[in-house]
Amino acid sequence: MAKEKIVRCRIQRRDTETSSGSVRYIPLEIYDLWKNLMVEKHGFDVEEDCTSLWFDIDGDPHVNYADTNYQKVVRLSVWVYSESDGMFRKVTRFFPLEGYDDIKPRFLAHYNGHFSDKRFPARIEETHGVWLKHLER
C-alpha cells in the first residue's frame, strides 16, 4: 500500500467574497513553495491547511468508507515527454473524488499537445485513495 504526506487546504481568490473557495491536496514536500506561488503570483488566499497521509486503496475506487475520518482522493499522474531533456517526466496532482470527472479534463488540457505526439504520447496513471483527516484533540 502506497502512502504519501499531503496537505489539504482551501484556496480562494482575494477579490471574491461570495465563493467558498475550493479544496486542494498538495504534496507536503512542495507545499510551502506552492503556497507562496498561489499567494504571491496568482492572488489566492490559502487557508485551513492540514497535513496528513494519503493511502492508495489497492482496488475498487468505489469502496465505501463509513468512517468520516477519510476523504476519497485520486492521484492523477501524467507522463509527458520533454524534448529538451530527451526523457519523460512525471506530473502528479491530487484531486477530491467528488467533482473529479469535471476537474480531470481541465487538468489534462494543459498537456493536450503531448497526447497527440506520435513518437512519445503522454500516458495517464490514476490511483484511487483516501486522505486520512487529521484528528483534532
Q: How many domains does the chain have?
A: 1
Q: Is residue 65 assigned to a domain? A: no
For the chain, where are the alpha helices, taking DSSP H only? 31-36, 100-108, 112-115
pLDDT, one tens digit per residue, over 64-83 is: 655 667 889 999 999 998 88
Cβ(123)–Cβ(77) below 8 Å: no
pLDDT, one tens digit per residue, over 83-133 is: 888 889 898 999 999 999 999 999 999 887 777 777 888 889 999 999 987
User: What's this model's pTM, rounded to 2 decimal places?
Assistant: 0.80
Domain hosting residue 116, numbered range: 3-59+70-132
Q: Is residue 64 assigned to a domain? A: no
